[in-house]
Amino acid sequence: MDRYLKTTKIRYSEDFKLFICKEFMTGNYSLTSLRKRYDIGGKTTISKWLKKYGYLTPKLVSSCGMAAEEPKPSNPDKSRSQLEKELQEANLLAKAYKKMIEIAEQELKIKIIKKSNTK
């Protein structure tokens, strides 16, 4: 029996990659479920696609997890439109965090978020 198996690298079309990213962003599927459903190899493949196509920022995606990024100092000369853009991005990131936690709770069957009125 061969100890070393020959592996081939599968190339996915851009349309397929975008389709998978959009499926994930609907919130109906987790990264793991999409990998299994479409037989996509590699644990970080879809995360890399999400990052590549701008669905998630590098702050959120690091090996299917979350990576810390140092905050940048604020500039008092920023225009209102720039601040509004940043607020929209922050709101989008908050939604993404909530969705990731929700998916993790469903897959792992544990409570991650503590209820505020408990002791």
Q: What pLDDT does residue 47 have?
A: 87
| Domain spans in the chain, listed from the N-terminal domain onward | 14-68+78-108
Q: What pLDDT does residue 64 have?
A: 44
The pTM is what?
0.45
**Cα(104)–Cα(37) distance, rounded to whole angstroms?**
18
Mean pLDDT taken over the chain: 78
Give the pLDDT confidence of 30-59 residue by residue, as tens digits.
888 999 999 898 888 988 888 888 877 555
Rounded to 5 degrees, what angle do the CA atoms 51, 74, 68 make?
Answer: 40
Token duo for residue 93: 């990131």
